[in-house]
Amino acid sequence: MGKFELIATSAFGIEAVTARELKKLGYTEQRVENGRVTFTGDETAICRTNLWLRTADRVLLKMGEFKATSFEELFEQTKALPWDEIIPVDAEFPVEGKSIDSKLFSVPDCQAIVKKAVVEKLKLRYKCEWFQETGARYRIEVALLKDVVTLTVDTSGAGLHKRGYRKLVGGAPLKETLACAMLLISHWNKDRVLLDPFCGSGTIPIEAALIGKNIAPGLGREFDSEKWGIIPGEVWDRARDEAYDTMVEDRELRIHGSDIDEEAMSLARYHAKKAGVEDAVHLQRLPMSDISSRYKYGIIICNPPYGERLGEKEQVEKLYREMGTVFKKLESWSYYIITSNLEFEKLFGKKADKKRKLYNGKLLCNYFQYFGPPPPKFAEDKDKIIG
């Protein structure tokens, strides 16, 4: 098996979380940059990272990196790369691109030049003038940043946030990858009670259950690189077998999700069933004001309304004040709340112990972290959320 340079892309602000996931999988040789973690691995690494990474957007195979300030340089250096070692004669190879602070700023032109260069390289190998592109997909990306060109091939296909369970989507959905980042940043673990009082279609509770049961998030979907000739089918089979063998299906978890919207709760129940975790997630329609708990040391992780829409500001401000009152009653609990509202701490009535900038889509948010006391080491956690 050969060694590849791979890139796990992620949203800004969670690169360190993705790097920690990669280290846990055994890929310690890495470089963390804005929006990506570069690491090395073989064919098995492509399979395992696509199956297991919870916070990454995609896993890319890096073909090359060089400086280019003219289309001629872009063409010649692209053509020099070993595309023929990766891409078969019948492959579909669309080219996508982006350019930031570079002399070659026209993305369509850069895409056309790269496509032409790859075609010319493949002509030399396969001795033909036309490629039908009817086979497996090898999506190429040309990314320019300050005149440095990075060329990659996408191993994932659809973004890794598409786990396969969320067929229906409610309003303002939270990406699965961001939900997992929020969980991993909080250091929630399977022994502690978790509550999301604004669970909507269920993303945070479901992702927590997947973590708690050690279910690889990519088990319910396919990846473009499963059809690639450079990765034998048995390598994918072994990676999937490993994922199935390490699942812990009988683990007792206390994960709760609630929302005032009954339609959202119906979606959440449907998604939990599709994800195979309906036995691990307790979902109920419940106003946030009715949340209470008999026991201690639980964790709230939530994505409340932000008040971005016209006419919602006063309603959201009232909600944040109410959250401060309700959450305060859970004296030994920790709270983790994401919102773009800059007045949150003032309205909530308490300054966060820690803040972290995260992006919910293109919206810059703060992840407000309030640390409760740690639970006694051997305390039994019998938490039950009641209304």
- Region 49-70: mean pLDDT is 98
Q: pTM, whole model, 2 decimals?
A: 0.93
Q: Could you tell me if residue 170 is inside a domain?
A: no
Same domain, 88 and 227: no
- CATH value at residue 251: 3.40.50.150
CA 202 to chain centre: 15
* Rounded percentage of the chain residues whose pLDDT exceeds 70: 96
Extract the runs of DSSP E, i.e. beta strands, from the chain. Answer: 4-9, 30-33, 36-41, 58-67, 95-100, 139-145, 148-154, 194-196, 255-259, 281-285, 292-293, 299-302, 334-339, 354-360, 363-370, 385-386
Q: What size, in residues, is the chain?
A: 387
Q: Which of 192, 218, 197 is nearest to 207 (CA)?
A: 218
End position of a domain, from candidates 154, 188, 205: 154
Q: Where residue 114 sits, what CATH number does that domain have?
A: 3.30.2130.30
* Together in a domain, 115 and 146: yes
Q: Do 208 and 249 fall within a single domain?
A: yes
Query: 191 with 139, same domain?
Result: no
Please check whether residues 276 and 358 belong to one and the same domain.
Answer: yes
Is 159 within a domain? no
State how far the Cα of 36 lies from the Cα of 56, in Å rounded to an integer. 8
Q: Give residue 2's pLDDT.
A: 77
pLDDT in tens, 217-235: 999 999 999 999 999 999 9
**b vs e for 185-208, b when ≥16 Cβ sit within 10 Å of the residue's Cβ?**
bbebebebbbbbbbbbbbbbbbbb
pLDDT > 90: percent of the chain: 88
Residue 231 · residue 203 · CB < 8 Å: no
Residues 115 and 21 in one domain: yes
Q: What is the Cβ-side half-sphere exposure of residue 163, based on CA atoms within 13 angstroms?
A: 26
Residue 37 lies in a domain: yes
Q: Is residue 241 part of a domain?
A: yes
Domain termination site, one of 154, 186, 204: 154
- Same-domain pairing of 182 and 313: yes
Q: What is the pLDDT of residue 378?
A: 42
The number of distinct structural domains making up the chain is: 2
Q: What number is the average pLDDT over the span 3-8?
A: 96
- Better-predicted residue by pLDDT, 20 or 377: 20
Domain assignment present for residue 167? The answer is: no
Pair (143, 186) in one structural domain: no
CA 230 to chain centre: 26
Pair (122, 204) in one structural domain? no
* Band of residue 381 on the pLDDT scale cut at 50, 70, 90: very low
Question: What are the pLDDT digits (tens) for 63-87?
Answer: 999 999 999 999 999 999 999 999 9
Does 171 map to a domain? Answer: no
- Average pLDDT value for the chain: 93
- Give a yes or no: residue 160 inside a domain: no
* Cα distances (angstroms) measured from residue 152 to each of 25, 67, 232, 299, 353: 22, 15, 21, 40, 40
190, pLDDT greater than 80: yes
Give the per-residue pLDDT at 122: 97
For residues 200 and 123, membership in a common domain is answered with no
- Are residues 289 and 144 part of one domain? no
Q: Which 8-state DSSP code applies to residue 173?
A: P
150 and 184 belong to one structural domain: no
> Is the CB of residue 136 less than 8 Å from the CB of residue 45?
no
Res. 109: pLDDT tops 70: yes
| Residue 354, pLDDT above cutoff 80 | yes
Residue at which a domain ends, from 108, 123, 154 = 154
Full domain range(s) for residue 66: 4-154
The mean pLDDT of 287-293, rounded to a whole number, is 92
The number of helix segments (H) and strand segments (E) in the chain equals 10, 16
CB 256 within 8 A of CB 385: yes
Q: How confident is the model at residue 386, as a pLDDT?
A: 39
Q: Which amino acid is at 182?
A: M
Residue 318: pLDDT above 90? yes
**pLDDT score of 256:** 96
Identify any residues that bridge with 73 across adjacent strands, giving them in sequence order: none
pLDDT digits (tens, 9 = 90+) for 114-171: 999 999 999 999 999 999 999 999 999 999 999 999 999 999 999 999 999 987 665 5
In a domain, 50, yes or no: yes
